[in-house]
Structure 1
Amino acid sequence: MRNLLVLGLALLLAGPASATEAEAWQALREGRAVLLLRHATAPGTGDPANFQLGDCRTQRNLNQAGREQAQRWGQLLRRQGIEHPRLLSSRWCRAQDTASAMGLGAVEPAPVLDSFFVQPRQGAERTRQLIEQINAQPRGVPLVLVSHQVNITALTGIFPASGEGLVLALPLSQPARVLGRIAPP
């Protein structure tokens, strides 16, 4: 009898957290929320001094662990019933490669998701533009965004790990309303 009471109490306490995560996934499936991911693991910080936007050889790129992490994101999204989302990504190679490796469809480059790490004064304007552009998107289709730590922190106040995702309620606001925080798979 005591074991049943302990089990019942444990289930009761675990219920709200599970329900919240389930609600976040449901909102994403229905297009009432957006998934904002920090690109998968790419060792280092920032970009090399010779960074060139169109040349991945001059950028910090995903390592093998990052490529596998991105593939696991695709698997996780499919398990959650999100098989054909609209994928928008920063134009940085590590973000584009994260979105592509998920294997969920075409990736659309979105300059508003580009890192402003080396130009922090652009943060407020870039965040305003991001909110405006995402809120103008048609609803009803799951939307997945791949960006950078600095962009995500400016929007949410959260410092995400590489490959971490945040489910954000639509319409976006600042700070964004976080429905769920998903650890890197």
Structure 2
Amino acid sequence: SAANGSHFRQQEIVVTRVLSSQWCRCLETAELLALGPVEPFAPLNSFFRDRSTRDAQTAKVRDFMRAQATPGVTVMVTHFVNIAALSDRNIASGAMVILRLNDQDALEIVGQITIQ
């Protein structure tokens, strides 16, 4: 996590917000990134044990992204199932997916970062 945060700083990526699942391991990961104050954000909580919340949580994250007008990057620390629901991609633990909303209001994968 610290290496991922260091990568952001080395690349001079401006992070305006850091949001995290309320689960301890995500909050700890977000803190270790050291990219700014961490804001707990319930829609990022894992729905692995209760898939019935998947669509509602995913919609709330999309709505949040849609409403962003601030320049810069919002980092969201979440769980495998949440990332898969948002991106339709399975990624390795510790990897980061870079998403944006395109002109058709669909999430588009811009890149992926995996630091060894």
Q: TM-score, normalised by structure 1?
A: 0.58
Alignment of 1:60-79 (within 5 A): 70-79=1-10
Contact 1:162 1:184 (C-alpha < 8 Å) held by counterparts: no
After TM superposition, list the pairs within 5 Å mapping 1:31-110 onto structure 2. 70-82=1-13, 84-110=15-41
Native 8 Å contact 1:99 1:146 kept in 2: yes
* Structure with the largest fraction of strand: 2
Q: Return 5+ residue gaps in structure 1 as ranges.
A: 1-69
State the identity as a percent: 35
Report if the CA contact (8 A) 2:84-2:90 is conserved: yes
> 2: CA distance between counterparts of 1:165 and 1:143?
12
Aligned-pair CA distance for 1:124: 1.2
Partner letter of residue 48 of structure 2?
F
The answer as to 2:94 corresponding to 1:143 is no
Q: Residue 60 of structure 2: which of 126, 129, 132 is its match? A: 129
| Partner of residue 112, structure 2 | 181
Q: Greater relative contact order (Cα 8 A, min sep 6): structure 1 or 2? A: 1
Q: How many residues align?
A: 115
Q: Deviations over 1:90-145 (max 9, x none)?
A: 00011110110011221001001110010012111111111012211233021111
More helix by share: 1
Q: Which residue of 2 aligns with 1:152?
A: 83
Choose 1 or 2 for highest CA Rg: 1
Q: CA RMSD in A?
A: 1.7
Q: How far 1:182 sits from its partner (Å)? A: 1.2
**Secondary structure in 1 aligned to 2:110?**
strand
CA distance in 2 between counterparts of 1:138 and 1:112 reads 19
Classify the secondary structure of the residue corresponding to 1:85.
strand
